Structure 1
Amino acid sequence: MTAQTAHAAPSTTAIATDTAGHGTRRKVLWGAQILLAAFLLIGSGLPKLVGQADAVETFDLIGWGQWFRYVTGVIEVTGAIGLLIPRLAGLAATGLIGLMAGAILTQILVIDPAWSALPAAFAIVFATIAYDRRTETRQVLRSLKR
């Protein structure tokens, strides 16, 4: 076997497998994006914006005022919408990682440390989405520079 044959181009089978794996990963992430967007919109963001009693109590406990509840709700709702737009999903996921970091710290320092596992798990999924959508994110950022 010569050095040339040892470094041959990848076979079409290997390329097809990589493409199929990427397609499956993207479908799984789309499912996660849809579920997380539904949770952020219906289960978390809107209750904050409409002043649901437990959201008001939680933000009283945090001690930063109710304005912070509205800001958090708006971030969650816009993040949920962004997750559903392919071109913006990576940027939305990146922003939501920051939100989850704040939620983790708030749970640990103010509310209940055991509940910090949920935003930590969400942050991992958001990081995976952001990584998978990095090409689209670069394109969006390049278009903003023009």
Structure 2
Amino acid sequence: MAVTAVRPARSRTVLLWALRAGLAGMFLAAGLSKLAGAPEAVELFDDIGAGQWLRPLVGALEVAGAVGLFVPRLTRSAALGLAALMAGATVVNVVVLGVSPLLTVLLAAAAVAAAALSSPGSRTR
């Protein structure tokens, strides 16, 4: 019986780490692209029409969220922050840009899942 009790906890831990790694990779790449002023990022924020000041802010939030995913005490907050960021991006995609929100919705859902799987204030997960 002890083996079956350990398996769900281990599966949850493995799933959480996989979500963390995947999300962190996506958000780190996207955030660094925005911070570096990649032409695609500059063009995207021109199309949004809010000004280029928003690009480094969003980039910094994405990088901070990606890093926060690997700090056990911050995982839940970082994941929820990234989910909120993707909720805003979804609205911008649909209302302002008129493009598919599929990627931002999937990223938001993955971030919410990571938050749900993480223990609040945990030192080990």
Calculate the TM-score normalised by the size of structure 1.
0.77
Q: 1:129 aligns with which of 108, 111, 114?
A: 114
Q: Which amino acid aligns with 1:136?
A: G
Counting helix residues as a fraction of each chain, which structure ranks higher?
A: 1
| Separation in structure 2 between the aligned mates of residue 69 and residue 130 of structure 1, nearest angstrom | 25
1:14-63 Cα shifts (integer Å, max 9, x gaps): x6534311211221220121121112112x00110111001000001101
Q: Secondary structure at the match of 2:72?
A: coil
| Separation in structure 1 between the aligned mates of residue 116 and residue 89 of structure 2, nearest angstrom | 21
Q: Which residue of 2 aligns with 1:105?
A: 91
Larger radius of gyration: 1
1:120-140 Cα shifts (integer Å, max 9, x gaps): 111111111111224326x9x
Q: Secondary structure at the match of 1:23?
A: helix
Matches within 5 A, 1:1-146: 13=1, 16-42=3-29, 44-114=30-100, 116-136=101-121
| Bigger RCO of structures 1 and 2 (CA < 8 A, at least 6 apart) | 2
List runs of 5+ in structure 2 lacking aligned partners.
none
Equivalent residue pairs, number: 123
Q: Which residue of 2 aligns with 1:143?
A: none
1:90-128 Cα shifts (integer Å, max 9, x gaps): 1100111110100100111122332x1111111111111
| Separation in structure 1 between the aligned mates of residue 99 and residue 4 of structure 2, nearest angstrom | 42
